[in-house]
Structure 1
Amino acid sequence: MDETTTPRPASSRLTALDGLRGLAAVIVVFHHAMYTNPDFPGTPGGGSAPVGSAMWWISYTPLKFMTAGVESVIVFFVLSGLVVTLPVVRHRGFDWVAYFPRRVVRLMVPVAASVLLAAAWVAAIPQISTQASGTWLSNSSTPNFSWEYIVKAVDLLGGDGQINNPLWSLRWELLFSLALPVFAVVAIAVRKWWIGGLVLACTLTWLGSRAGSGELEYLPAFFVGAVIAVRMDAVRNVADRINARWYRHPLWAALTVGSGLLLIAPWLFGPGIAQLPELGHALKGLVPLAAAGLVVAVLGWKPLRAVFESRPFQFAGTISFSLYLVHVPILIFSTYLFAGEPWFVPLLFGIPLAVAVSVAFTWLLEKRSHGWAKAAGVWASERYRAWFGREETALEAGRPAEEREGSRESAGHR
């Protein structure tokens, strides 16, 4: 990317990223919906599909993109790294005192509410799995529910999400949010050597996949998003130059399709990838890069950006966080509600119900959590300023009058 950057106001291009987040959330829902079928390839316990069957087509061809749930979570992580880091690099004097409580409230209020809602779904019907032990449904069911599960689920850092499976990813969201100063500083440090930063992130992801380390496998994706944030002006400038060329559409299409295929590359090798574990780990190491390619394509390719700015995708983006938080307990509840029916019947009830609940959750709670988070940040910032002001007054006691005035003026600028 070109080093020449032209500062410009925040672009509406970022609106398209809401649509991309919405698509990722829908894919995660489809992913878990298919997991209720123990024969779905990739499920815990080892699903399988005969070559040429419907399950094979949606698992080992480019159609896999629509059920690539884990890979879509990596897209979430890259998007979070981008949008959370961007204000830090855009605004001088970023208010860190306000940021931490604001971010924690923004994440934890919806999480806690989703846990209580999940507990209600779990308690509604006894979850005694009829599937073999080790399947996703059996592992995600809670036959002996008690209040301890609520406490464990809310504890993102040390608990577990037994009653609400997607909370595993919120642990990494919270850790990244708390470590944002480190991510931002390192991303700024590699601004001119951004290729090296992306190579480092992919290498750490590969090592994490190989060693079974969640920290190494997932946190680098946030860093990739942070690198895009510090390079945002360069990304836009390059996109503008590409869009002025005759080959713009083929180039953007190649980036979009190539990134999408790279995202699901391990699946395209078919079941035989299990016999090549090192190749599988290497391809997983490239997933954050594939997610970054999709993000850049959505930002830069005008026709694709228009798609993600359309109403259906924007609606999905609006409810994406709520949908992500509430859908799994509802799918499991629906599976037990329609026990004995073909595996797809509960989904015809559970998926629309999950969308309806997520709409209500968004408007009744998540939207309000934005206001509560902002208020928490303002309160913390005001308290800090009040404390800092008192300290400054005490220090000024023995200073000359003109020096005290200079100190007050400087404090006002801060």
Structure 2
Amino acid sequence: MQHSSKLNAVESIRGLACLAVVFSHLSLSFYPYLHHFDDHDQATNALVYWIQHSPFTFWYSGTAAVYVFFVLSGFILSYVIGNSRAPKQKIKSMLIKRYPRLAIPALISCILLWAALYFSDIDSSQVQYWLQVLAQQNSSFGQAIYEGTIGSFLFAESSVNWVLWTMQVELIGSVVLFALLYLKQYSSGLFLTLVLMFPLSFALFKNMDLYLGLISFLLGSLIFFYGRRIASNAWAGLLLALGLYLAGAHNSSLAYQGIYQFLGDKTYDYCNFLSGSLIVYSILMSPLLSRMLDRPVFVYLGKLSFSVYLLHLMLLYIVCLPVFNYCVQHGFNYDSAFMVASLVFLVAILICSDIYSRVVDRFAIFISNKLAQYWAGA
């Protein structure tokens, strides 16, 4: 398989996973029964009920999507270092770059969301509880600065921009992986032993999200170094189907009651966690699936994915919510208003994320590169 095709597939997977996060938050805002996290959630129509109890809910599984992100991060960081002619120098350079590369866009997104909430008061009475809580939160500017620079990265604190909890996994996962990859330059056996033993450290973690996220990082690295090409398209398809099925798991869904009998309330957590590695492995190790995802529109979406991820809650509030209110006020029923608002929202996401990527992301990359040149000479 050509390296370009595989790397494009990585971008495509990331872009599609980011869409799943957006759809997840749309569903929580307007049709919370699709997740049914709360016993009080009610299905508003037969279609919503059918979807929630079907095995086809992967397309709005935000939790599975973030595990996909973590696996991809482990894979791509290992790819860059593994293909470097000077891996030790590359590790040092990437270690210096990692925090500013993540923190600059995260901080600005936090400030933008805080400003949107602070300087406006958009009616949220027509939407569901999840979006109401977002719209009515009362955070300070100092809190936005703190979470965008320190809180989210060290402690997964994300009371302003809720999605920033993943920054803790991205930063700590990167540091752990860099350390292990540095050891790999001396002993591949030691690297593999430590990676395989890492799951035994669960007693050290109070935060299951961090624990499973770090394992996902390491699984991504293992996929790069030890993954084997899937020669059978049928097996690759079955593996992907299994990953997508697990990605849609909800504890209350009838489609997962067989698994629930064994895992109980951990069904949602463990199935979504497992799905990330299965989805990534099945696609990246299959030439056919990688080629199928090597499409310009998917690759473009992947390049915008970080910006989409950071901005979509702000746009949900300042674009989707007022458009929905406008439609309801002008005679649209709930479902129609949702459809119109969602379409406008998605267009706004693409436009704003493209700008954010060109301006903020590029600035973060520029600063990161300058710091690496100064501190590591790379």
| Bucket of the pairwise TM-score, normalised by the shorter protein | 0.7 to 0.9
Is the 1:166–1:325 Cα contact (8 Å) retained in structure 2? yes
1:70 is aligned to 2:60: no
1:272 is displaced (CA, Å) by 6.0
Counterpart amino acid of residue 247 in structure 2: L
Corresponding residue number in structure 1 for 2:306: 321
- Secondary structure at the counterpart of residue 115 of structure 1: helix
CA deviations over 1:248-296 (Å, ceiling 9, x no partner): 2222211111221123244654586898584342563354443222212
1:309 is aligned to 2:306: no
Counterpart amino acid of residue 134 in structure 2: S
Bigger drift between 272-281 and 118-127 goes to 272-281
State the distance in 2 between where 1:78 and 1:130 align. Answer: 38
Q: Cα RMSD (Å) of the superposition?
A: 3.5
Given the two structures, how large is their TM-score scaled by the length of structure 2?
0.81
Is the 2:64–2:275 Cα contact (8 Å) retained in structure 1? no
State the distance in 1 between where 2:365 and 2:2 align. Answer: 23
Describe the shift of the 1:163–1:222 C-alpha distance in structure 2 as closer, same or farther (beyond 3 A): same
State the distance in 1 between where 2:76 and 2:142 align. Answer: 34
1:152 is displaced (CA, Å) by 3.3
Number of equivalences: 359
Corresponding residue number in structure 2 for 1:409: none
In the alignment, which of 217, 221, 225 is matched to residue 230 of structure 1?
A: 225
Query: What is the 5 A alignment of 1:159-174?
Result: 160-174=157-171
CA deviations over 1:65-97 (Å, ceiling 9, x no partner): 110111111100110111113333443442243
In the alignment, which of 53, 61, 79 is matched to residue 54 of structure 2?
A: 61
Corresponding residue number in structure 2 for 1:259: 243
1:15 is aligned to 2:8: yes
Which segments of 5 or more consecutive residues in structure 2 lack a partner in the other structure? 329-333
Bigger drift between 263-272 and 159-168 goes to 263-272
1:25 is aligned to 2:2: no
Describe the shift of the 1:291–1:352 C-alpha distance in structure 2 as closer, same or farther (beyond 3 A): same
1:335 is displaced (CA, Å) by 4.8
In the alignment, which of 325, 332, 340 is matched to residue 339 of structure 1?
A: 325
Which segments of 5 or more consecutive residues in structure 1 lack a partner in the other structure? 1-7, 386-414
CA deviations over 1:371-414 (Å, ceiling 9, x no partner): 221121111113xx9xxxxxxxxxxxxxxxxxxxxxxxxxxxxx
State the distance in 1 between where 2:259 and 2:9 align. Answer: 36
Describe the shift of the 1:255–1:143 C-alpha distance in structure 2 as closer, same or farther (beyond 3 A): closer
Bigger drift between 316-325 and 362-371 goes to 362-371
Counterpart amino acid of residue 18 in structure 1: E
Counterpart amino acid of residue 22 in structure 2: V
Corresponding residue number in structure 1 for 2:331: none
Indicate the structure (1 or 2) with the bigger Cα radius of gyration.
Answer: 1
Describe the shift of the 1:48–1:185 C-alpha distance in structure 2 as closer, same or farther (beyond 3 A): farther
Describe the shift of the 1:93–1:83 C-alpha distance in structure 2 as closer, same or farther (beyond 3 A): closer
CA deviations over 1:84-119 (Å, ceiling 9, x no partner): 133334434422432222111111111122122222
In the alignment, which of 13, 27, 51 is matched to residue 34 of structure 1?
A: 27
